């Protein structure tokens, strides 16, 4: 669920569906933030994000309105992040990610994303093997194995790594995300601090922007330090199509 994915080579019809489904889940995860060495030392005293459940409302193209829920939980040393989003009668999406946190470093093991538009859906599954430094994706019956020269993430584990880095003063802006058939560098930058008001309340936030190579696109996240840098607002413009997401409740 994020603003992190796009396919510039699709035809207009496919791009329109892709943008809607991407917007549907955007911000429900940050989606997805530097380049971490596969053998980076752990930090015993690193701060760690805390389990939480957050609800959001969002608007796509100023006409589609929906809701999203993001739940981060922990059992032993295993973390799970589950996200669901829907526009009633039109589309739905669900994502989950399983990972560990060692010191400051997030290490994903499995992830899946399922999108449905008017009852027709697709699922992308990712399996991470840190010891072999590979990621295997499965999409539409095709399996692709990719090599991790740097630590790579799915959307949700990437969000948690970003938050970990902000909590521990390690934010560099250079991150890598596993997609259907490649591992792609996904850069971000800090763009100052501001106080914003959303349905859940007023928060001091740090703004983080994704660095796009296309001037027609912009993606901004407002993250609250008081909530372990949970996103309280997300805004995206993609080829003139706008999506806004805001936090409505945090548990």
State pLDDT tens for residues 48-104: 999 999 999 988 887 789 999 999 999 999 999 999 998 887 888 899 999 999 999
Query: 121 or 6: which carries more pLDDT confidence?
Result: 121
How do residues 133-148 score in pLDDT, each as one tens digit?
999 999 999 999 999 9
The pLDDT value given to residue 156: 94
Per-state percent for the chain, helix, strand, coil, to nearest 5: 10, 55, 35
Percentage above 90 pLDDT, the chain: 62
pLDDT of residue 25: 47
Report residue 237's pLDDT band, with 50, 70 and 90 as the boundaries: confident
In degrees to the nearest 10, what's the CA dihedral of 5, 92, 127, 143? -80
Residue 243: count other Cβ atoms within 10 Å of its Cβ.
26
- Residue among 135, 141, 163 at smallest CA distance from 70: 163
Q: Which whole-number Å values give the CA distances from 27 to 85, 133, 139, 141, in the listed order?
A: 10, 28, 23, 28
Q: What is the pTM of this model?
A: 0.82
Q: What is the DSSP string of 191-228?
A: EEEEEEEETTEEEEEEEEEE--S-TTEEEEEEEEGGGT
The predicted pLDDT at position 6 comes to 39
């Amino acid at each position: 669920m994020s603003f992190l994915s796009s396919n510039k080579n699709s035809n207009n019809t496919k791009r329109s569906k892709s943008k809607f489904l991407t917007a549907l889940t955007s911000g429900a995860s940050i989606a997805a933030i530097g380049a971490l060495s596969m053998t980076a030392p752990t930090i015993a005293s690193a701060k760690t994000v805390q389990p939480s459940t957050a609800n959001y409302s969002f608007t796509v193209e100023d006409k589609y309105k929906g809701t999203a829920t993001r739940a981060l939980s922990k059992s032993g040393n295993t973390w799970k992040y589950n996200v669901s989003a829907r526009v009633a009668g039109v589309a739905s999406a669900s994502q989950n990610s399983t990972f560990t946190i060692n010191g400051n470093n997030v290490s994903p093991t499995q992830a899946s994303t399922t999108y449905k538009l008017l009852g027709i859906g697709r699922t992308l599954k990712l399996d991470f093997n840190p010891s072999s430094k590979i990621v295997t994706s499965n999409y539409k019956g095709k399996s692709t194995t990719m090599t991790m020269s740097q630590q790579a993430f799915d959307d949700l584990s990437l969000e948690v790594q970003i938050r970990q880095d902000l909590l521990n003063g390690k934010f560099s802006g250079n991150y890598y995300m596993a997609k259907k058939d490649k591992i792609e560098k996904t850069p971000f930058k800090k763009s100052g601090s501001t106080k914003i008001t959303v349905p859940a309340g007023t928060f001091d936030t740090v703004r983080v922007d994704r660095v796009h190579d296309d001037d027609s696109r912009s993606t901004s996240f407002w993250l609250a330090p008081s909530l372990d840098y949970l996103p309280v607002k997300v805004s995206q413009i993609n080829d003139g199509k706008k999506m806004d997401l805001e936090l409505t409740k945090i548990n």
